[in-house]
C-alpha cells in the first residue's frame, strides 16, 4: 500500500532537515539536543553541581547534554517508558513516569534528594486527531508540574514542552502560580509548523 501523502512529507522533511543532518554528523542521539542547547545558551539553565531530572528521557540526548553541564559534582536522573542506551554519568529507570510504580522507581534513584532542574520533552504518541492528542500532551505537562510541587528545590527551574491549543492558557496560569518568572521559548530547531513551545519557569516557590 502506498504511503500516505503526510507520511511522505514527514519523511522528506525529516531527512532534509539540517538539524537532523547535523545530529547525524556529530553522532548525537536526536535533533532535540539543539533545542535544549539553544535555550541553555540563551538562558543558562545549567550550573555545575546541580541535580537534574529528565522526564521522558529517551533517546537520551537531553540527559547527555545536561550531564556535560552539571557533572562531575552534579547528577542527572532520567525516566522513560522506552528503553535507551544510558549516557555516561546518567542514572536511568525504564518505567512509565505516569504510573505510581514509575514514580517510586524515580524517587528511589533520587534517594530523597530534590531536583534543581526538571526537564520534560515528553509528548504523547500522536494519533493525528487534535481533539485526542492535545489533552494527552497537556496531561503530560501537568504531570511534570505536579512533580515539581514535591520534588523541586525552592528557586528551582522547570523546562517543559507544551503544545499551543486547548488547555494551554490554563496550564500557563498554573505554572505562573508556582514560579516567579515564566517565559516562552520557540527554538529554531523546532519545526515551523509545529505547535510546540517550551515554557521556561524559574524561581520555584515551594
| 87-127 pLDDT, tens digit each | 999 999 999 998 999 999 999 999 999 999 999 999 877 65
Is 121 assigned a ligand-binding role in the annotation?
A: yes
Higher pLDDT, 71 or 8: 71
Active site includes 161?
yes
**What is the bridge-based pairing of β-strands 115-120 and 152-163?**
parallel
Was 107 annotated as part of a binding site?
A: no
Which of the following is catalytic: 21, 47, 130, 161? 161
The reply to whether 116 sits in an annotated binding site is: no
DSSP 151: H
Q: What is the pLDDT of residues 72-83, one digit of tens each?
A: 999 999 999 999
- Show the cell assigned to 135: 489533552
Closest to 77 (Cα-Cα) out of 136, 66, 85? 66
User: What is the structure's pLDDT at 22?
Assistant: 58
Domain at 5-204, CATH homologous superfamily: Vaccinia Virus protein VP39 (3.40.50.150)
- Domain range summary for the chain, segments of one domain joined by +: 5-204
133 annotated ligand binder:
no
Amino acid at each position: 500500500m502506498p504511503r500516505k501523502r503526510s507520511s511522505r512529507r514527514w519523511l522528506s522533511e525529516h531527512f532534509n532537515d539540517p538539524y537532523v543532518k547535523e545530529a547525524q554528523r556529530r553522532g548525537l542521539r536526536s535533533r532535540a539536543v539543539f533545542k535544549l542547547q539553544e535555550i541553555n545558551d540563551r538562558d543558562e539553565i545549567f550550573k555545575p553541581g546541580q541535580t537534574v531530572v529528565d522526564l521522558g528521557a529517551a533517546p537520551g540526548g537531553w540527559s547527555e547534554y545536561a550531564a556535560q553541564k552539571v557533572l562531575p559534582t552534579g547528577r542527572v536522573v532520567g525516566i522513560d517508558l522506552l528503553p535507551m542506551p544510558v549516557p555516561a554519568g546518567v542514572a536511568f529507570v525504564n518505567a512509565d513516569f505516569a504510573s505510581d510504580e514509575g514514580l517510586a522507581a524515580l524517587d528511589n534513584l533520587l534517594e530523597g534528594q530534590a531536583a534543581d532542574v526538571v526537564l520534560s520533552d515528553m509528548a504523547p504518541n500522536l494519533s493525528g486527531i487534535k481533539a485526542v492528542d492535545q489533552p494527552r500532551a497537556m496531561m503530560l505537562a501537568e504531570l511534570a508540574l505536579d512533580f515539581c510541587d514535591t520534588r523541586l528545590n525552592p528557586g528551582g527551574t522547570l523546562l517543559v514542552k507544551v503544545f499551543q491549543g486547548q488547555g494551554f492558557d490554563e496550564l500557563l496560569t498554573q505554572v505562573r502560580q508556582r514560579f516567579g518568572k515564566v517565559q516562552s521559548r520557540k527554538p529554531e530547531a523546532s519545526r515551523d509548523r509545529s505547535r510546540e513551545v517550551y515554557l521556561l519557569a524559574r524561581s520555584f516557590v515551594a
